[in-house]
A and B are shown apart, each in its own frame.
Chain A
Amino acid sequence: MPACQLNGARIENLGVKKVANFMQTLDARKVALVQALGQHLEISFWALLIAVMIAIPLAIWVRRFPKIAQVILQLTGVLQTIPSLALLGLLIPLVGIGTVPAIIALVVYALLPIFQNTYVGLTEIDPSTEEAADAMGMSRSRKLLRVELPMAMPIIISGIRTSMVLIIGTATLAALIGAGGLGNFILLGIDRNNTSLILIGAISAALLAIMMSFLISILQKMKFKYVLILLSAIIVVGGGVAGYTTISQLNNKVVIAGKLGAEPEILINMYRDLIRDKDPRMDVELKPNFGKTSFLFSALKSNQINVYPEFTGTVLETLTHAKQTPKSPRAIYQLGKNQLAQQDRMTYLKPMAYNNTYGIAVKTSFAKRNKLRTIQDLQSVQGKLKAGMSMEFMDRSDGLKLVERRYHLKFPVKGMEPELRYRAIHDNQINVIDCYSTDSELRQYHLTVLKDNKHIFPTYQGAPLMTTKFAKKHPQIVTSLNKLAGKISEKQIQEMNYEVNVLEKSPASVAHHYLIKHHLIRE
């Protein structure tokens, strides 16, 4: 299955350019960065708070039973060895996706250091000090609050600090299950092969950890009483904010999510504009870069999101496991639509025009000179061809091998990194490459995708997916979204991807501009 949403902004990373590029990317994504920092802090904070509220009372209770304490220490130790990705995966069927499973996973990791330090801090108090407190006639709770906890406080706080650093680091994985945060930058960077984005995410997470660690070290030096007051204040404020957010989320709101990358983000911005155009009072929330196919699909099933754009090819391959793939795009869509409706009670709206699939591309000038329009036309220039292709495409049975067999082509091919491929054809070292048909580089380097006139590549057309229940409840949304049916050509989506990936325009403005220009919404 091709990873058909791949859109690489393969930016040249040479010397000084790198730094300039980094600063430019940073500047262009200021707003997103602040938002991601906020999400990251929010997730980390709640995870830490919950871990503290579980681990400290547990350690206090269990310290009189050393055997149970040993068992709990072992157990929390084992929990910590579960790979975080596996843990996130295990949680999806239980609690779905988004912030909740992310926080649960982080809490699981944070338990051990806090529990261990609290237990050690309390059990290592000199018995004579305990005896003095008893002999003064202190009650258990008074002894705990006035003597034991203050004495154990420095070591407890150092446990909290360890957990906090652990949480902030691991929270970058939360992006994988749609909880957002700085991990979005890293994922996006990996996806687009954009080092600047990865660096922004990683450096911000590291700085955040250092900063929080510093703040907690101040806490360590504070008097126990003030620590308690501060913590209660934070809980009250945090709880208030969380409560407010929960209440405001209870409103009738439409949540639209999209997979990782520029293209899905452009699409969901279009969806929002179309819905709002019809009903300006409709509350629409976007969750861009929400993760991979299975996350989105299960989120849709569990009503955590209401709509997301899915590709017809992906529906057949991943979601419905169709035994045979029909040839024509229309048949592929129909089969997917029917199976989704039967198996999962989903409604799959009409697809857009463009096909995001494999392609064979040459320079536009080269195509014009040699009158190339289809892959078949390459036969006439077979002797002149020098190809550079991705390893994956060369390896796949439905990739290069199929092209050679079905189009009776034979030309020398070099295996190349996806990013290098575009640079090499730009520098005329090669003259034919493989690509994804919506790559922004096609526009950036003035390349033309040759028509697959024998339909050997599977069809991937995008269309909005939602539950049938939702579709019935919101017929006006269905009407609005169907306005995109048969719209947006490959050229147009390439152009829009180019504007977002290379020109760093916001997906919202690119989407809006397209809808206005094509009279799909009122100005």
Chain B
Amino acid sequence: MVAPLIEFKNVSKKFDGKTVISDLNLGIMPGELFVLVGSSGSGKTTTLKMINRLLEKSSGTITVAGRGIEDYSLTDLRWQIGYVLQQIALFPTMTVAKNVSVVPDMQRVSGRKVRGLVDNLLAEVGLDASFRNRMPIELSGGQQQRVGIIRALAGKPPIILMDEPFSALDPLARESLQKLILKLHTKYQNTIVFVTHDMDEALKLGDRIGIMKNGKLLQVDTPKEITNNPANKFVADFFSNNRYSDLNKVLVNQIIEAGFMAPRQIDEKVRAAPSVEQLSNLKEVLRLLASSPLVKIIDARGKPIGCFDNESIIRFLSTI
């Protein structure tokens, strides 16, 4: 059995005598994209910040790769853990390239290597080399957070912490960045701890999801398990209140998970149909179905994995 990369044991945290996290136990596996979800005040951000010691726990132990976090020097610990903030917080006096190379510069990576690294990372998030010498203030919110993400990646950390990274962005930018995160996660296989208050986002991104309330973990499970077997009424309510709250935001993935793919082989008709990705939303599916009897579903590599027809979608809608 693989040991957890990050492990909380009996961790609690008090602010001014008030307990905000009590007796937290949690293991996050290597290569996992783990989402902590909960309303504000639930303790999810506090939990995240204790990992890289932006906040110090009050009691218990937290280990990273089997070693207590206090056994690392603060710098060593933080160089192993990338960090992406809700406020993005690029350094306003530095160019994009300088921002990205903050950690490699501290690690004394040679200037030539850093240049190559920056160019690669920029390309990875869809920014061309002309962005190198721009200042953060000249970038849109979405572009800034792309830079924020590669700034966290630049030191090649095995772990990345993301604190509500997309909640300040407009829906369009948020959606494309969610896709970007999944793509980068697949590529680099690093362990991501992602904090959000948005259940749709959690379901969309998480390999596993931890639901928090009042400083306690209520349930930790895969999206499917949480959907099908909520641990208690709160989880079920939180989930149903959030789930499908906006039809346009329902994802192809969620429809598949709910079991409403059309029962049909992938034949020539399916291949010829217009396609949606797994992360496309219901709105897109409905738009395509208006002019075509079938819509094919493709995975990240463009391979068809199934299809929707009018009947399957109407059956799905009737369950809501």
Contact = CB atoms under 8 A, between A and B. Distances in A.
Contacts of A138: 102, 106
B291 interface: no
Contacts of A131: 54, 85, 89
A142 interface: yes
Contacts of B102: 136, 138, 146
Nearest to B80: A137
A128 interface: yes
Interface in B119-159: 151
Contacts of A136: 78, 83, 102-103, 106, 151
B103 A126 contact: no
A137 B151 CA distance: 13
B78 A139 contact: no
B87 interface: yes
A151 interface: yes
A150 interface: yes
B78 A126 contact: no
A251 B94 CA distance: 51
A339 B319 CA distance: 115
19 contacts: A126-B89, A128-B89, A131-B54, A132-B83, A132-B91, A135-B52, A135-B85, A136-B83, A137-B74, A137-B75, A137-B77, A137-B79, A142-B106, A146-B94, A146-B102, A147-B91, A147-B93, A150-B93, A153-B93
B91 A137 contact: no
Most buried by B among A128, A131, A132, A146: A132
Contact of A132 (B75, B81, B85, B106): B85
Given A131-B54, A132-B83, A137 B89 contact: no
A126 B87 contact: yes
A224 interface: yes
A151 B93 contact: yes
A319 to B, nearest CB: 60
Given A135-B78, A137-B79, A129 B91 contact: yes
A133 interface: yes
Interface residues of B, number: 24
Contacts of A132: 83, 85, 89-91
B92 interface: yes
A360 B316 CA distance: 120
Interface in B57-89: 74-79, 81, 83, 85-87, 89
Nearest to B154: A136
Interface in A200-226: 224
A149 to B, nearest CB: 9
Interface of B: 52, 54, 74-79, 81, 83, 85-87, 89-94, 102-103, 106, 151, 161
A126 B92 CA distance: 11
Given A126-B87, A128-B87, A132-B83, 9 more contacts: A129-B89, A132-B91, A133-B91, A134-B78, A135-B52, A135-B78, A136-B83, A137-B77, A147-B91
Contacts of B52: 135
Interface string A110-142: 000000000000000010110111111111001
8 tightest Cβ-Cβ pairs between the two chains A and B: A137-B78, A135-B83, A128-B87, A150-B93, A132-B89, A128-B89, A137-B75, A129-B89
A151 B54 CA distance: 22
Nearest to A152: B93
A353 to B, nearest CB: 72
Nearest to A154: B93
Contacts of B92: 129, 151
A146 B89 CA distance: 14
A136 B93 CA distance: 16
Contact of B106 (A128, A129, A137, A150): A137
A131 B106 CA distance: 17
Contacts of A139: 75
Contacts of B79: 137
Nearest to A139: B75
A126 B89 CA distance: 8
A138 B106 CA distance: 8
A489 to B, nearest CB: 72
A224 B75 CA distance: 25
A224 B103 CA distance: 20
Q: Which one of A126, A128, A137, A224 has the highest number of Cβ atoms from chain B below 10 Å of its Cβ?
A: A137
Contact of A134 (B54, B86, B87, B151): B54
Interface in A22-80: none
Nearest to A149: B93
Contacts of B86: 128
A129 B93 CA distance: 11
Contacts of B77: 137
Contacts of B151: 136
Interface in A150-204: 150-151, 153
A135 B93 contact: no
B85 A137 contact: no
Contacts of B75: 137, 139
A153 B85 CA distance: 25
Most A Cβ at <10 Å: residue of B54, B78, B91, B93: B93
Contacts of A142: 106
A137 B78 CA distance: 5
A132 B92 CA distance: 12
A137 B54 CA distance: 10
Contacts of A126: 87, 89
Contacts of A137: 74-79, 103, 106
A129 B94 CA distance: 12
Interface string A219-241: 00000100000000000000000
Nearest to A132: B89
B89 A224 contact: no
B92 to A, nearest CB: 6
Interface in A361-375: none
A146 B95 CA distance: 12
A523 to B, nearest CB: 68
A151 B93 CA distance: 6
A153 B91 CA distance: 14
A122 B299 CA distance: 49
A83 B139 CA distance: 50
A304 B155 CA distance: 62
Contact of B54 (A129, A135, A146, A147): A135
Nearest to B98: A146
A224 B93 contact: yes
Contacts of A133: 91
A483 to B, nearest CB: 69
A127 to B, nearest CB: 9
A151 B90 CA distance: 12
Contacts of B94: 146, 150
Nearest to B148: A132
